Amino acid sequence: MAFDLVHYFAEQIKIQKPQLLSQYPAEERCAYLNEINTLTLGKLISLWRKDENKIYQEIYSQDQLYVQEVSRHLTTSTKNESTLPKSELEHATSEILHLQLNELKQLDQTGQYKQRGMRELLLGQIEHLSGKAKDWVWSTNELNELIGSQPIVEEALSLDETMKEFSHMVNNQHADTHEIVEPVVATVPTWAKVLEPVVALVILWILYSALTNIFA
């Protein structure tokens, strides 16, 4: 899965644009900013699909007229159902789109993505955008495949997976002893699902102590 630009841009907006839409209550402001973040990033993806050479050039040219043109197109679209006043919406859209282009430029310079890598990075954002906005956002920025999408829930590392990783680590650590250690199977009670992180730490410590004594 590609690096999550949706979350990355959201954090950069908080850091770099603290005054943007600051006239609104915190929760409402956050909702507006997240809405515009997905709107503009989605538009960059759809524009990349149409002409990636042009968008890659725009990432480096930082042409304010182009940013304003794209922002105005998004703002005036009949499919845009944002409740923000048009003037505020266009200004915020322009600010966030410019920030995204600038951040993509810095990421490219730092990570040496080049055009091919930037293609994989941008097109890989479809997974991260899924379920992050209302359908009108996807209609407006032409990411129609996301219409009706549901949020993707990323589950935390389960206790069973943690045990497997721990067992693998210990086996590698003591591989030079040429002894076969029977796999340890931990039975996870129902209540442990609620306290998995705590249970995992306790069991891992017990196993580590036991295995250390075995190979001492």
- pLDDT per position as a tens digit, 135-163: 999 999 999 999 998 765 544 444 455 44
Mean pLDDT of 48-71: 96
Report the alpha-carbon distance of residue 67 to residue 192 in Å, rounded: 51
Contact 9, 99 (CB under 8 A): yes
Mean pLDDT of 90-105: 98
Contacts 24+ apart (CB under 8 A), 71-80: 71/40, 71/97, 74/39, 74/40, 74/43, 74/140, 74/141, 77/140, 79/136, 79/139, 79/140, 80/136, 80/140
| Residues ≥6 apart with Cβ < 8 Å to 118 | 56, 59, 104, 108
Where is 56: in which H helix or E strand? helix 52-61
Q: Which pLDDT score, from 0 to 100, does residue 4 have?
A: 95
CA distances from 132 to 156, 180, 188 (A): 19, 48, 33
Amino acid letter, 180 = I
Q: Residue 130: pLDDT above 80? A: yes
CB burial string 139-155: b at 16+ within 10 A, e below: bbbbbeebeebeeeeee
